[in-house]
A and B are shown apart, each in its own frame.
Chain A
């Protein structure tokens, strides 16, 4: 698939903009702060309903305006669809597909699929686990949009449960008899939240374990291609469940015959762990068991990438994670042989996700630049941003756009 048209209204620095895009390489060149990233951020937003730069929607709306509109035309095979998103501060976003009735923003997921490379990706390797959890979850949503509902419901249950633990702890501390009584009654509802947490948590856990399994060979292959080194890049899922991490090494995989990914089994394990953890949870007032405590472990030649890998190696690893995602999403036919069993993608025609490389080349040395350029070239559409045109590898010829504040012109 590719994006053939992008139009913005009061999005970030743009009062309005209309850009016609082509299949193949499209490069946006302009000095820093001119609004290159805003363009690809808008396209990424249509695919994921989130920005890769900020957690909230408020900064996306041009200051002074009360709503931003992003309209994209997406061509897949010989069919074109338009997706229009209206981002309003403090309100639910409104969406429209093919100029039809307004739908919930969530229904837009799946129409456009993107894989985005950005300087922020370095934190996938060097940063905290929450970034890696988000990486897994976002990829799952791209593969199966229904997962977004599971994730947001889990999030809600988790928040309710944590609030309950916190207030129980507070009333235990204050020690008043009437408050202690009501705390006891509240705790009776903890079982109910545990059941929901285990049910939704098991589903997320199962999906993530299978995802990591499917991603593992692709990451190892991509790392080799990007770095041209025999680095042995490995990924593994680390669960907070004691039963799953008791072995040595603590990471787990789903070999044939293992039932690690069986939802019913995982739910029982979660419930068991919740019983064990309860005294400690009540003591600390936080939820200690579940997929929100897990991590994706990255190792290079057997050593943890975080802390041991050099800057260049960390970059290669981050790129390998993104490239592997791209291939998993149907971008590379040579990889389809070991496409994951848990995901029957029914890719249909022209399923290639759109590749976005936001300011990535400036961060890489010349050799990595060229290799990455060669690797992404076969993609149906590649959107590149760069401050200077020389940063873009020669292999990535295509359409060039010049970006000045508020305007985009085709060279």
Chain B
């Protein structure tokens, strides 16, 4: 245990995701040794982010106004919505430049152990966006783990009779990898989701 302020800082840092007590201690002493100007910049960034950034009222993505950049972009298509768990997933998909529709951020996945149920996710907001009939397709891009799959299944059942195409991102082989090194689950999924590239019948 350290004296007052230092220990407070270590405790606060230790609460951040992915930071254990040892790392918290290291960061705290790094900050103590850093000159004031640099620490000030960090403090400003923290304050700024809480002041300026909010969540988009429509899709739930991070935004610097009431609507996020994607929702405001008139060039994007309104027919397709891609449903993701977290704002960082939006960034990941945006990097591909493959998708030109809109997003919907759920804010997590169904996870009873963590006490997260469908009511804790932005699901009613999603259903509201589907009500006016503009949206033709919903792409479920939740994580390919137990919780993400359960969320996707739950959503697909909710939307089953709404006259909307519901699709799920394919799971498969990493590009540039070797087939023999793929694990059995991934390879099995890749087989399930194979595509026809030639059909003479």
Rounded to whole Å, the gap between the CB of A239 and the closest CB of chain B is 24
Rounded to whole Å, the gap between the CB of A166 and the closest CB of chain B is 8
Q: Evaluate contact between B119 and A182: CB separation under 8 angstroms.
A: yes
Q: Does any Cβ of A come within 8 Å of B150's Cβ?
A: yes
Contacts of A164 in B (CB 8 A): 112
Q: Indicate with 1 or 0, residue by residue over A117-142, a CB within 8 angstroms of chain B CB atoms.
A: 00000000000000000000000000
Interface centre among A159, A182, A189, A195 (most CB of B within 10 A): A189
Contacts of B185 in A (CB 8 A): 146, 149
Q: Does any Cβ of A come within 8 Å of B90's Cβ?
A: no
Contacts of B118 in A (CB 8 A): 185-186, 188-189
Count of chain B residues near A, Cβ 8 A: 19
Q: Evaluate contact between A186 and B184: CB separation under 8 angstroms.
A: no
| 131-163 of chain A: CB within 8 A of chain B | 145-146, 149, 153, 156-157, 159-161, 163
Q: Evaluate contact between B153 and A106: CB separation under 8 angstroms.
A: no
Given contacts A195-B153, A196-B149, contact A160 B117 (CB under 8 A): no
Rounded to whole Å, the gap between the CB of A86 and the closest CB of chain B is 18
Given contacts A107-B183, A149-B185, A185-B119, contact A196 B112 (CB under 8 A): no
Contacts of B119 in A (CB 8 A): 182, 185-186
**Complex alpha-carbon distance, A161 and B113, angstroms:** 8
Count of chain A residues near B, Cβ 8 A: 25
Contacts of B150 in A (CB 8 A): 157, 160, 189, 192-193, 196
| 171-201 of chain B: CB within 8 A of chain A | 183-185, 188
Contacts of A104 in B (CB 8 A): 183
Rounded to whole Å, the gap between the CB of B126 and the closest CB of chain A is 15
Q: Does any Cβ of A come within 8 Å of B111's Cβ?
A: yes
Q: Evaluate contact between B111 and A189: CB separation under 8 angstroms.
A: no
| 103-119 of chain B: CB within 8 A of chain A | 110-113, 115, 117-119
Contacts of A193 in B (CB 8 A): 150
Q: Does any Cβ of A come within 8 Å of B147's Cβ?
A: yes
Q: Does any Cβ of A come within 8 Å of B146's Cβ?
A: yes
Q: Does any Cβ of A come within 8 Å of B157's Cβ?
A: yes
Q: Indicate with 1 or 0, residue by residue over A157-198, a CB within 8 angstroms of chain B CB atoms.
A: 101110110010000000000000010011011011101100
Q: Evaluate contact between B111 and A160: CB separation under 8 angstroms.
A: yes
Q: Does any Cβ of A come within 8 Å of B99's Cβ?
A: no
Rounded to whole Å, the gap between the CB of B62 and the closest CB of chain A is 26
Q: Does any Cβ of A come within 8 Å of B154's Cβ?
A: yes
Rounded to whole Å, the gap between the CB of B151 and the closest CB of chain A is 8
**Complex alpha-carbon distance, A104 and B111, angstroms:** 25
Q: Evaluate contact between B184 and A146: CB separation under 8 angstroms.
A: yes
**Complex alpha-carbon distance, A182 and B116, angstroms:** 11
Contacts of B146 in A (CB 8 A): 153, 156-157, 160, 196
Of chain B, the residue at the smallest CB distance from A158 is B146
Of chain A, the residue at the smallest CB distance from B116 is A186
Q: Evaluate contact between B153 and A149: CB separation under 8 angstroms.
A: no
**Complex alpha-carbon distance, A76 and B61, angstroms:** 54
Interface centre among B115, B150, B185 (most CB of A within 10 A): B150
Given contacts A185-B118, A186-B119, A193-B150, contact A149 B184 (CB under 8 A): yes
**Could you list 26 examples of A-B contacts with CB < 8 Å?**
A107-B183, A149-B183, A149-B184, A153-B146, A157-B150, A160-B146, A160-B150, A161-B112, A163-B112, A163-B115, A164-B112, A167-B112, A182-B119, A185-B118, A185-B119, A186-B117, A186-B119, A189-B118, A191-B157, A192-B110, A192-B150, A192-B154, A195-B153, A196-B146, A196-B149, A196-B153
| New A-B pairs, 10, CB < 8 Å, besides A188-B154, A191-B157 | A106-B183, A159-B113, A160-B147, A182-B117, A185-B117, A188-B118, A189-B117, A189-B154, A192-B157, A196-B149
Give the interface of A toward B (CB within 8 A).
104, 106-107, 145-146, 149, 153, 156-157, 159-161, 163-164, 167, 182, 185-186, 188-189, 191-193, 195-196
Kindly list the 7 A-B residue pairs having the minimum CB-CB distance in the complex, ordered from nearest. A146-B184, A164-B112, A163-B112, A186-B117, A163-B113, A156-B146, A192-B154
